Amino acid sequence: MVGTGSGAGASGPLHPDPLHASFLARLPVDGASVSVVTVAGSHSTVSSSDALATRLEQLQFDLGEGPHYRALESRKPVLVADVRSADHSAWPMFGQAVVQTEARAVFSFPLRIGAVTVGVVDLHRLSPGDLSDLDLAHAAALAGAIAGKAAAYAAADADGEGRDELVAGTRRQVHQATGMMAVQLDTSVTDAFARLRGHAYAAGRSVDEVARDVVAGVLDFTDDPTDSETA
């Protein structure tokens, strides 16, 4: 299974990034990440406060499930006030993984521009507890305030190299690897990405790590449809 070790959740922000800093300043949370998803399904992480925030986002990206994805689908906040006692039936793999991290509460808020949901802000706490009604109102307002900037940031960052090693960035190698696998397997990009994600899960690695191997030619799906690694 995908590794479940947590990052340095107790550490503070690595740099003063306004996209996540406003949430840490106004809300009783310990970490935050901001992600943008295009209509084509491309996923970019444009802001992350610390290693644990990045880890939680990475887990959900690798597994394709969790509060992050539920917030995207429902266009409503998804609140898990206590990850140890919560019902994780809607995201069983993420539920099994998140309880092994330092996070004790996770909250996901959609980033919306008008009627369009362009991404998600994922928040976590190191101790369990609900957000108050006022906190929820502040979080929704902050999400609305940064949505346009986050989308613009993702678009601008698509041609760059990423701003911090803890931020997954635009995942250009994932998109490149998916395209390569679609050719190797003679299948659709959607099916190729599902195969990439499945291989990563079975190997206990992140999607980003496996994608790097595909792009580098270390992992090739051409000859063996059950996955073959070349020397």
82, 120: one domain: yes
pLDDT at site 171: 67
108, 59: one domain: yes
176, 142: one domain: no
Give the highest mean pLDDT range of 35-49, 82-96, 194-208: 82-96
Summarize pLDDT for 3-27 with one digit per residue, the tens.
333 333 333 333 445 789 999 999 9
Question: Nearest-CA neighbor of 53 among 71, 32, 69, 82?
Answer: 32
pLDDT at site 148: 86
In CATH, what number is assigned to the domain containing residue 214? 1.10.10
Global pTM?
0.70
96, pLDDT greater than 70: yes
Maximum Cα–Cα distance for the chain, whole Å?
A: 57
225, pLDDT greater than 80: no
113, 194: one domain: no
Summarize pLDDT for 28-48 with one digit per residue, the tens.
999 999 998 866 567 788 889
138, 26: one domain: yes
In CATH, what number is assigned to the domain containing residue 123? 3.30.450.40
Measure the CA angle with vertex 98, ends 92 and 103; round to 5°: 150
Residue 10 lies in a domain: no
Coil, strand, or helix at residue 112?
A: strand
Strand partners, 37: 43
Domain holding 91, by residue range, is: 18-157
pLDDT at site 54: 92
181, pLDDT greater than 90: no
Domain boundary among 112, 132, 157: 157
